[in-house]
Chain A
Amino acid sequence: MKIVINVTVNQKNYELAVEPNMTLVDMLREELRLTGTKKGCGLGECGACTILLDGQPVSSCVMLAVEAHNRKIVTIEGLETEKGLHPIQQAFVEKGAIQCGFCTSGMVLSAKALLDDHPHPDEQDIRKAISGNLCRCTGYQKIVEAVQSVSEGEQTS
Chain B
Amino acid sequence: MTQYHTINSRAPRIDAPDKASGKAQFIDDLNMSDQLHGAILQSPLAHARIVKIDTSRARKLPGVKAVVTAEDAGLVQYGVSPARYDETLFCHDKVRYIGDEIAAVAAVDRETALAAVSLIDVEYEELPLLLSVEEAMKEGAPLIHEDYPGNICAEVHQEFGDVEAALAECDIVRTDTFMNKMQNCAFLEPQGCIGHYDHRGYLTLYSSTQTPHYVQRTVAMTLKMPIGKVRVVKPYVGGGFGAKASANAMEMVACLLSMKTGKPVKMVFTREQVFLQARGRHKFVHTLTTGAKKDGTVVALKHNCILEGGAYASFGIATVYYAGSLLGGPYKLQHMKYDAYRVYTNKPACGAQRGHGGVIARAAWEQQLDVIAEELGMDPVEFRFKNMMNNGDTSCNDLYMSSFGMRECVEAVRDKSGWERKRGTLPRGKGIGMACGFFVSGAGFPIYRSETFHCTATVKLSEDGGAAHLYTASAEIGQGSDTTFAMITAEALGVPLNAVKVSSGDTDFGVDLGAYSSRQTLMTGFAVKHAAEDAKRQVLEVLADKLRISVSDIDVKDGTVIFKGPGITFRTIRNRYRKEHRGWTDMPDDAPLSFAEAARLAFIVKGTVIGQGEYRPRWLGGKFKGAAVGTSPAYGCSAQVVELRVDMETGQITIDNMTDAHDCGFAINRTSVEGQMQGSLLMGLGEALFEEVKFDQKGRMLNPNFGEYKIPTALDMPNVTPIIVESNEPYGPYGAKEVGEGAIMPTIPAILNALYDATGIRFHELPLTPERVYKAIKEKQCEAKAERGRK
Interface residues, chain A, with chain B CB atoms under 8 Å away? 29, 34-43, 45-46, 48, 75-77, 79-80, 85, 89-90, 92-96, 98-105, 108, 126-128, 130-144
* Interchain residue pairs with CB less than 8 A apart (24): A35-B28, A40-B706, A41-B705, A43-B271, A45-B271, A46-B271, A89-B20, A90-B20, A93-B13, A96-B12, A99-B679, A100-B478, A101-B19, A101-B20, A102-B188, A127-B714, A127-B715, A134-B713, A135-B714, A136-B711, A137-B679, A140-B713, A140-B714, A144-B719
Name B241's closest neighbour in chain A (CB-CB).
Answer: A136
B479 proximity list for chain A (CB < 8 A): 99
B188 interface neighbour in A77, A96, A136, A142, Cβ under 8 Å? A136
Chain B 700-714 against A: per-residue CB contact (8 Å), 1 yes, 0 no?
000001110001011
CB pair B674 A140 closer than 8 Å: no
Supposing A94-B12, A101-B19 touch, asked if A46 and B188 sit within 8 A by C-beta, the answer is yes
With CB as the reference atom, state the residue of chain A lying closest to B21.
A80
A101: which B residues are within 8 A, CB to CB?
Answer: 15-16, 18-20, 24, 236, 238, 478
Query: Closest Cβ of chain A: how far from B98's Cβ, in Å?
Result: 19
The residues of A that contact B674 with a CB separation of less than 8 Å are 96, 142
Q: State which of B20, B21, B186, B188 has its C-beta within 8 Å of the C-beta of A100.
A: B188
Most chain B CB neighbours (cut-off 10 Å) among A35, A108, A144: A35
Q: Mark B155-192, 1 if CB is under 8 A from A, else 0.
A: 00000000000000000000000000000011111100
Interface of chain B residues 700 through 753 with chain A (CB within 8 A): 705-707, 711, 713-715, 717, 719-720
Q: Which of A39, A100, A103, A104 is packed against the most chain B CB atoms within 10 Å?
A: A100
A134, B716: Cα distance in complex, Å: 11
In the complex, chain A residues whose CB is within 8 Å of the CB of B23: 36
The listed residue with most A CB atoms (<10 A of its CB), out of B16, B671, B717, is: B16
Number of interface residues of B (CB under 8 A): 55
Q: Which residue of A lies closest to B680 (CB)?
A: A139
Instruction: Give chain A nearest CB distance to B271 CB in angstroms.
Output: 4
Contact of A39 among B20, B28, B714, B717 (CB under 8 A): B28
Is B20 within 8 A of A92, CB to CB? yes
Grouping DSSP codes into helix (H, G, I), strand (E, B) and loop, the B interface class, with mixed when no group exceeds half, is: loop
Partner of A137, one of B20, B24, B478: B478
Residues of B within 8 A of A132 (CB): 713
Q: Is the CB–CB distance between A92 and B28 below 8 Å?
A: no
Q: Is the CB of B672 within 8 A of A96?
A: yes
Picked from A38, A89, A126, A142, the residue with its CB within 8 Å of the CB of B21 is A89
Q: How many A-B residue pairs have CB under 8 A?
A: 174
In the complex, whether B480 has a CB less than 8 A from a CB of chain A is: yes
CA distance A85 to B188 in the complex (A): 24
* Contact across chains for A38 and B12 when beta carbons are under 8 A apart: no
- Main DSSP-derived SS at the A contact region: loop
Contact flag A103-B675 (CB < 8 Å), given A42-B270, A45-B707, A139-B717: no
Please tell me which one of the listed residues A48, A76, A108, A144 contacts residue B714 in the complex, with CB atoms under 8 A apart. Answer: A144
Chain A: minimal CB distance from B245 (Å): 15
Which of B239, B705, B714 contacts A102, CB < 8 Å? B239
- Contact across chains for B682 and A99 when beta carbons are under 8 A apart: no
Residues of B within 8 A of A104 (CB): 19-20
Selected from A79, A99, A126, A136, the residue in CB contact (under 8 A) with B186 is: A136
Assess whether B13 is in contact with A45, with CB atoms less than 8 Å apart.
Answer: no
Which 10 residue pairs are nearest across A and B when measured between Cβ atoms? A36-B22, A100-B478, A101-B19, A102-B238, A139-B678, A76-B22, A96-B671, A45-B706, A35-B29, A89-B20
Query: In the assembled complex, how far is the CB of residue B263 from the closest CB belonging to chain A, in whole angstroms?
Result: 19
Which of A48, A85, A128, A139 meets B679, CB within 8 Å? A139
Question: Assuming the A-B contacts A134-B711, A136-B186, A144-B714, are A35 and B238 also in contact, with contact meaning beta carbons closer than 8 angstroms in the complex?
Answer: no
Most A CB within 10 A of own CB, among B237, B239, B705? B239
Whether, in the assembled complex, B17 has its beta carbon less than 8 Å from a beta carbon of chain A, the answer is: yes
Task: Please indicate the chain A residues that have their CB under 8 angstroms from the CB of B707 in the complex.
Answer: 43, 45
Q: Is B683 an interface residue (CB 8 A)?
A: yes
Flag if A40 contacts B20 (CB, 8 Å). Answer: no
Kindly list chain B residues whose C-beta atoms are within 8 Å of the C-beta of A133: 714
Beta-carbon nearest neighbor of B13 in chain A: A98
For B539, what are the chain A residues with a Cβ–Cβ distance below 8 Å?
none
**Which chain B residue has the least Cβ–Cβ distance from A109?**
B22
Q: Residue A98 contacts which of B20, B25, B190, B714 (CB distance < 8 angstroms)?
A: B20
